Chain A
Amino acid sequence: MAASCVSCGAVVSQRLLLRPRVSLAPRQVLWRAAELQSVPGPQILRLKHVTVVTTKKNVKALRRETYTVDFIKKQIEEFNIGKRHLANMMGEDPETFTQEDIDRAIAYLFPSGLFEKRARPVMKHPEQIFPKQKATQWGEDGRPFHYLFYTGKQSYYSLMHDTYGKILDIEKHKNQLQAKGLFSEKDKTTDLIGSRWLIKEELEEMLVEKLSDQDYAQFVRLMERLLQGGAAGEFVQSFRRSVTVQSEKQPIEPVQHDAQGMAFSTSEGRRKSAKAEAVVYEHGNGRIKINGIDYLLYFPVLQDREQLMFPFHFLDRLGKHDVTCTVSGGGRSAQAGAIRLAMARALCSFVTEEEVEWMRQAGLLTSDPRVRERKKPGQEGARRKFTWKKR
């Protein structure tokens, strides 16, 4: 009896699947069968997920796509075959065709003028494209595999449990050593410098589960406690990421020498739509010439001159360099900002690494990304709307 009901239920759901976009009466729930392959015998309806269809006719139903393991495997095979085809097309060796080569090949074959990088055609390994999903959590009899399934966040809680187990183990070990008198204080902090804990998003990605902020905080506290107890091992390192030092990325201009033997260095700077090129001489009086005009005459406003003063004042080299610069475009503030950036970059070559790092942290070496925002249609300006009239 039950079996026949189930089978007719399957038939009904099959029919429902065939007409997915029919406008339904308010608040109906669609049951979607998981596998409709021709399996002999009674099919068991496995509830994969529930989708809700809203009342509005034109809004598509929100579905979360599930990708089965077989589907993903098939995609990976197709990707590999496609990679070899692509390598053949480009005339390269299929064996040593890396992801960068693929990216370059795709960019060459499908040139796109879209500004959004994520909207351009891409060919990547299916692992990176399809979001990671959990395999079925329960077996044929409906019993879940994991012992913590009913907590809701099984991998998170199992991780916390394992970590706590490790803490207890370390403490027991420590007690044993102390009892024997072989305990020694070791330095544990060296391998932690230059790395940071996983951020919440990374942890979520690792566990394939949604976490709350409190969960994440608890996790970090537990990890810290583990570190206090004993040396950081492989286990803890898997939860840390290295922090790259930013200042290495700053290119430093070489110092050149001109005809009289004076050392100088040149660099450029941009701000809004002003472009500036500054030539900073190593020894000088503190004179600054812009487009051949003295800076006092070129910038009658105090604010602009303060901007020019900033790099020198920061490095305490106020009267020690001579500067000649050319600037074009933009307005007076933009020109001042562009010259300041150019001067700071040029000064990098006369200054120690540490001071370059200080300048970077002070924001002297970052080019200001703010540009004029576009005016949108239907509005008076970029943000300002037309006057709203009630009637």
Chain B
Amino acid sequence: MLKGVTRLVSRVHKAKHEEKHEGQHYNLPLQDMKTIFPHGLPPRYAMQMKTFNEACLMVRKPALELLHYLKNTNFAHPAVRYVLYGEKGTGKTLSLCHIIHFCAKQDWLILHIPDAHLWVKDCRDLLQSSYNKQRFDQPLEASVWLKNFKTTNERFLNQIKIQEKYVWNKRESIEKGSSLGEVVEQGITRVRNATDAVGIVLKELKRQSSLGIFHLLVAVDGVNALWGRTTLKREDKSPIAAEELALIHNLRKMVKNDWNGGAIVMTLSQTGSLFKPRKAYLPQELLGKEGFDALDPFIPILVGNYNPKEFESCIQYYLENSWLQHEKAHTEEGKKELLFLSNGNPGQLERLCAYL
């Protein structure tokens, strides 16, 4: 990428996004990406970031809509739930990342669960929870998440003080008034108690966000995992329901709108989901009755394929970065071909352009 070349696509300052900026890319500083997104970026986007040596997101209508709502949130009211849904590959996760970045710049506390599906499948070790005998712990996933949480929200961890005493085991306990950072440390070092640490973090944050010290953004990707089936089994090969996992249980409490001082943004995802048909994308289909009732009422936001302007902008972005090497890529017919083959689907388009 030549530094001296003037950009055809204008870069906009992120806080000033409005409708007229729709379809344009804006640049995110790489340093921010490391802090805000230690986890949570789609893998292909992370590869693209590494290749282009910059992180660029397109400003699109669903994200703009959400930003508008978030800017006008009334923090006295209970947290509003927003659900981003759409076909596979339309850009739900990246829209979520856009929102998270915006809120991080506005100094909110980000509680980002990169993919809830990772917590309900392929877990190696399940421990019986010390806190509640019926539930199961997932030490590995919990500790990994705590590490990432720490990276994202360093500065808040020392400010927030817990308001209760928690006893880890016979020898260790944590006093009231100590900072949240210590809880997180405990969870990271003592892997056995990681899940409980996560539970404590969630509970405290929920309680304290209503006080108004900070704004809390709960961002969950693949929220339909919370109410679906799991592939985990007990030692006697009987399946575990989602409620029996401590992490899931706590997260469910988190997305209930009985707290105020923030917002909950969620994405549905069929890609990682278990036992759901490929073509399902509506909230009703993916959440199931239980999930739908639990999340009701929420604001659904449909994320669709690119419209012609956005498509054009995306192609221009790739051309600028010399990603499309084919001679016909910048001709009209080439663009029409790409449009037909991908049908404006961002994911498909990205995969197509990877070959060219």
Enumerate chain A interface residues (CB-CB to B < 8 A).
Answer: 286, 293-297, 300, 302, 305-306, 309, 312-313, 316, 318-319
Contacts and interface: CB of A to CB of B under 8 A. Distances in A.
Given A297-B279, A319-B336, A302 B341 contact: yes
Nearest to B305: A296
Interface stretch (B149-157, B171-179, B202-210, B342-350): B342-350
Nearest to A308: B340
B343 A296 contact: yes
A313 B331 CA distance: 14
Contact of A305 (B278, B336, B341): B341
A294 B345 CA distance: 12
Given A296-B342, A296-B348, A313-B333, 17 more contacts: A293-B279, A296-B87, A297-B278, A297-B279, A300-B278, A302-B352, A305-B340, A306-B341, A309-B337, A309-B341, A313-B337, A313-B340, A318-B336, A318-B339, A318-B340, A319-B336, A319-B340
A305 B348 CA distance: 12
Contacts of A305: 340-341
Contacts of B336: 318-319
A162 B339 CA distance: 66
A297 B86 CA distance: 12
Residue of B336, B340, B342, B345 ringed by the most chain A CB atoms within 10 A: B340
B279 A309 contact: no
Contacts of A316: 333
A148 B339 CA distance: 72
Contact of A286 (B279, B340, B348, B352): B340
10 contacts: A286-B340, A295-B343, A296-B348, A297-B279, A302-B352, A309-B337, A309-B341, A313-B333, A316-B333, A318-B337
A364 B57 CA distance: 41
Contacts of B348: 296
Interface in B228-250: none
Contacts, number: 35
Given A302-B352, A316-B333, A297 B340 contact: no
Nearest to A302: B341
Contacts of B345: 296
Contacts of A313: 333, 337, 340
Contacts of A297: 87, 278-279
Contacts of A312: 340
Q: Which 8 A-B pairs have the closest CB atoms?
A: A296-B343, A318-B336, A309-B340, A305-B341, A318-B340, A297-B279, A296-B345, A319-B336
Contacts of B342: 296
Given A293-B279, A296-B345, A319 B339 contact: yes
A295 B344 CA distance: 12
A370 to B, nearest CB: 25
B271 to A, nearest CB: 12
A294 B86 CA distance: 14
Contacts of A302: 341, 352
Contacts of A296: 87, 342-343, 345, 348
A311 to B, nearest CB: 11
A294 to B, nearest CB: 7
A6 to B, nearest CB: 86
A293 B281 CA distance: 13
A286 B308 CA distance: 12
Nearest to A285: B308
A295 B279 CA distance: 12
A286 B341 CA distance: 11
Contacts of B279: 293, 297
Interface in B312-356: 333, 336-337, 339-343, 345, 348, 352
A295 B342 CA distance: 10
Nearest to A306: B341
Nearest to B344: A296
Contacts of B343: 294-296
Residue of A294, A296, A312, A319 ringed by the most chain B CB atoms within 10 A: A296
B88 to A, nearest CB: 8
A312 B345 CA distance: 20
Contacts of B352: 302
Nearest to B342: A296
Contacts of B333: 313, 316, 318
A20 to B, nearest CB: 72
Contacts of A295: 343
Nearest to A296: B343
Residue of A300, A302, A306 ringed by the most chain B CB atoms within 10 A: A302
A313 B336 CA distance: 9
Interface string B70-111: 000000000000000001000000000000000000000000
Nearest to B355: A302
Contacts of A293: 279
Nearest to B332: A318
A296 B348 CA distance: 9
Nearest to A319: B336
A297 B339 CA distance: 15
A313 B334 CA distance: 10
A313 B343 CA distance: 15
A286 B337 CA distance: 11
B344 to A, nearest CB: 9
Nearest to B351: A302
B43 to A, nearest CB: 19
Contacts of A306: 341
A294 B278 CA distance: 13
A300 B88 CA distance: 11
A300 B341 CA distance: 10
A107 to B, nearest CB: 49
A319 B336 CA distance: 7
Contacts of A286: 339-340
